[in-house]
Each structure stands twice: as structure tokens, then as C-alpha cells.
């Protein structure tokens, strides 16, 4: 349960889970749906079809019951063999996660080290791959959620293709809905995502799409739960291999309907405007952004001045203001705060987030002019 304290509403500003609409919540109340019925198969197929344009592909994405990391693992297990050489870009926690999964499954991992808060460039991949021609697959992020940057995927993918025909797999878990990502237009082999980010439903479902070349490149490793060929065989008819999270599928249908009713380009425009407004607000309040460019539309990573204790700030935001923010991880722990505007958050959400941040920062000893962030944010949204 969320906290119920007098006059403190809880609001989510963490980059997943994101706010869930009442309609999506209500849909999940029909918790007794049996997944081996034609009506469930029909709903499942409607979801697959509505996911395809969001992932920018004509092939129907698979829906798995797992968090986003499950789809990352499924991608790696189904598209690599033991001993394969793979390349990842460690621009933050999630790039690191690709490396860890590759390591767990005994791939030979290569890593491009990227300063946290920056993105790798096309040439970084091109130069590396030109020297290491045995690399079979590149695993990267669309958004690095731990630092709030969006990768220049067009540039990176075309640079990779100049020197290599390796598979390209993209973790778009926090990017879908906030940025236009098209598997088919980019010409990549696999895209993964998850339910609790731009889709605005609780965690528990993940999505994975494969290109024709991806399907032809399925590996021969042992696997069980995440066997994509077995899934595809059943999911063609809406039948999952295992018991799916049925209540989440019901919520997913509602969210997907909403996203399509709004229109995908409108959804992305909205995120772009919200992100711009938040950047303008925090800068006008006297704070610096972690990234200098390649800002994500999903979330904004904000540097904290040295005299501010990030942990205390986040606790104050939560306890006194009901505002749930995320901090930094590892080398950024205590040093940044992450302000998400992903999924179905609206202008009044970000205005309250900014106001809460101003209050809490003032109380933690930061010398900013109260209201200056909110004012700039509102002007940007006008």
C-alpha cells in the first residue's frame, strides 16, 4: 500500500514504476481470467498488434511475464552461444547489466567505457568493431536510465553497419513512449522493453521483438523459460508457454488503447515538452544537469551541490512531500537526483515534482529562490 498520511499524496517521479491510470487499474481487477480461453487469446493478440508500431516493427513482439531484465536475458540467451564475443557500452548501470548478463552466460564480453552522463558515439563502435572483427553482437541502450541520456541510435547503428554485420540488440526499456524508436527503420535485430516504464502499468510484463535476421540467428544454447521460438509458436495464436500475468495483460490493453488513441507522435511530443520544461525549471532554480546534451525525454538527471546529502534529500522528499524520486547509483550515489516524466505523467505532476524539489532542497540548505524553478517550468509549458 502507498502511505496514507494526512494531506500528503504520494506521487511517483522515479523512472519506473510510473503512474498507472485508473482505467488500467480497474482493468486488472478481473483477476480471475483464465489464460487458456479464446477470449484471453484474443486480448493477448490485440496487445501484440498494438505493441508492434510502438516498437516500430511489422513483426509482432512477444509478451513475456518478467521484469524488463527478463527480456534482456531472453535476448542474450536466444541470440548468442557460449563463447560468442559481444560488445556492450558501459555508460551507466544498464549498460553494465548487459555486460553482466553476457558474463553470466559465458559470452566473451567487450566493453566500451563511457563517462557516466555521456553517450557513446558512432565512431567509438566503428573503431572498436574494426579492430575486433570476431564480435558477433552489440548490446546497447536506447536510454541509459541511470544517467538520463538518450543514445544517438541512428548514428551508432549506421556506424556499426559500416564495419560489421554483427547482430544489434537494443534495450529500449525506458525509451519507448518517450522517444521514437523503430526497429525496422533502424534495421536492428532485437528490441526489448518493459511494462512499468512508458506503458504506464505495473511491473511484471516485458516485450521483445526480433527482426527476420534475428529469428534466423536463434542460438543453440540450452534454455527453458525464455525460449523465444516456443513462445512465438504459441503466441501466434495468443497462447503463452507459461501462465502469463493475466491481470497485467488486461491493464496493458487499456494502456495501449490509450497510447494509440492519443497517437504515438503526440505521446512523444508530450514527453519532449515535459523534459524540456523540467530542465528549464531545475536550471532556473540554480541546479546543474548531469548530461550536457543527448537529454532523455524520459527522465532528467540533476547534479546535487556538494553540500547536499542526496540520501537525506530523497528521504525528505518522500517522507515530508510524498514525492518519490530516485537517486544515483554506484559512482553517482548521493550525487544526483533523477526526476522522471515518463508514462502518463502530466504537467501538474511535473509542477508538483519541481515544487517538492524546491521545498526539500531549501530545507536541506540549498540557496535557491523558492518558486523560480516552478515558474520557469510553467513558462516552458505555456
Ligand X SMILES: *Cc1c(COP(=O)(O)O)cnc(C)c1O
Q: Which residues are near ligand X by CB under 6 A? A: 16, 67-69, 94, 141, 143, 145, 171, 173-174, 194, 203
CA torsion through residues 365, 366, 369, 371, sign: negative
Work out how close the CB of 71 gets to ligand X at its nearest, in angstroms, rounded to a whole number: 8
Q: How far is the CB of 59 from ligand X (least distance, A)?
A: 21
How far, in Å, are 171, 220, 241 from residue 70 at the CA level? 11, 19, 15
- Identity of the residue, 67 or 258, whose beta carbon is nearer to ligand X in the bound complex: 67
Whose CB is nearest to ligand X?
Answer: 68
250 by Cβ neighbours in 10 Å (0-12 / 13-18 / 19+) ranks as buried
In whole angstroms, what is the distance from residue 269 CA to residue 237 CA?
34
Interatomic CA distance for residues 18 and 195, integer angstroms: 9
3-state class of 320 per DSSP? helix
Question: What contacts 141, CB < 8 A, 6 or more positions away?
Answer: 89, 91, 92, 94, 95, 98, 151, 170, 171, 172, 175
Nearest approach, Cβ of 153 to ligand X (angstroms)?
13
Select 198 or 373, whichever has its Cβ closest to ligand X. 198
Whichever of 69 and 219 has its CB closer to ligand X, that residue is 69
Check: CB of residue 238 under 8 Å from CB of residue 214.
no
- Please identify, using beta-carbon distances, which residue of 174 and 380 lies nearer to ligand X: 174
Q: Which of 125, 76, 79, 78 is nearest to 103 (CA)?
A: 76
How many residues in the chain? 382
174 vs 345, beta carbon nearer ligand X: 174
Judged by beta carbon, residue 173 or residue 186, the one nearer ligand X is: 173
Q: Pick the closer one to ligand X by CB: 340 or 360.
A: 340
- Element containing residue 52 per DSSP (H, E): helix 38-55
Amino acid at each position: 500500500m502507498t502511505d496514507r498520511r494526512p494531506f500528503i499524496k504520494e506521487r511517483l517521479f522515479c523512472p519506473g514504476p510510473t503512474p498507472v491510470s485508473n482505467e488500467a487499474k480497474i482493468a486488472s481487477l478481473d483477476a480471475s481470467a483464465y489464460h487458456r480461453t479464446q477470449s484471453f487469446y484474443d486480448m493477448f493478440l490485440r496487445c501484440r498488434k498494438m505493441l508492434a508500431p510502438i516498437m516500430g516493427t511489422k513483426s509482432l513482439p512477444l509478451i513475456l511475464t518478467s521484469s524488463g531484465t527478463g527480456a534482456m536475458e531472453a535476448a542474450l540467451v536466444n541470440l548468442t552461444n557460449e563463447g560468442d564475443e559481444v560488445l556492450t557500452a558501459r555508460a551507466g548501470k544498464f549498460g553494465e547489466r548487459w555486460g553482466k548478463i553476457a558474463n553470466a552466460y559465458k559470452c566473451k564480453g567487450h566493453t566500451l567505457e563511457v563517462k557516466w552522463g555521456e553517450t557513446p558515439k558512432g565512431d567509438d563502435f566503428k573503431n572498436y568493431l574494426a579492430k575486433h572483427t570476431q564480435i558477433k553482437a552489440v548490446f546497447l541502450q536506447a536510454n541509459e536510465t541511470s544517467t538520463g541520456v538518450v543514445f544517438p541510435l541512428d548514428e551508432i547503428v549506421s556506424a556499426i553497419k559500416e564495419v560489421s554485420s554483427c547482430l544489434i540488440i537494443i534495450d529500449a526499456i525506458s525509451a519507448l513512449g518517450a522517444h521514437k524508436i523503430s526497429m525496422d527503420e533502424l534495421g536492428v535485430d532485437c528490441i526489448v522493453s518493459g511494462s512499468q516504464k512508458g506503458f504506464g502499468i505495473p511491473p511484471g510484463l516485458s516485450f521483445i521483438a526480433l527482426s527476420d535476421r534475428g529469428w534466423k540467428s536463434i542460438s543453440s544454447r540450452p534454455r527453458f523459460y525464455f525460449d523465444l521460438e516456443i513462445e512465438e509458436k504459441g503466441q501466434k495464436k495468443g497462447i503463452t508457454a507459461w501462465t502469463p500475468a493475466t491481470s497485467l495483460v488486461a491493464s496493458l490493453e487499456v494502456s495501449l488503447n490509450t497510447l494509440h488513441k492519443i497517437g504515438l507522435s503526440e505521446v512523444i511530443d508530450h514527453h519532449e515538452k515535459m523534459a524540456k520544461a523540467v530542465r528549464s525549471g531545475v536550471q532556473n532554480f540554480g541546479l546543474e544537469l548531469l548530461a550536457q546534451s543527448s537529454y532523455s525525454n524520459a527522465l532528467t538527471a540533476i547534479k546535487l551541490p556538494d553540500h547536499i546529502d542526496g540520501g537525506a534529500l530523497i528521504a525528505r522528499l518522500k517522507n515530508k512531500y510524498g514525492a518519490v524520486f530516485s537517486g544515483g547509483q554506484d559512482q553517482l550515489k548521493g550525487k544526483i537526483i533523477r526526476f522522471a516524466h515518463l508514462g502518463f505523467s502530466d504537467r501538474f505532476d511535473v509542477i508538483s515534482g519541481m515544487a517538492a524539489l524546491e521545498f526539500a532542497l531549501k530545507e536541506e540548505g540549498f540557496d535557491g529562490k523558492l518558486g523560480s524553478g516552478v515558474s520557469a517550468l510553467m513558462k516552458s509549458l505555456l
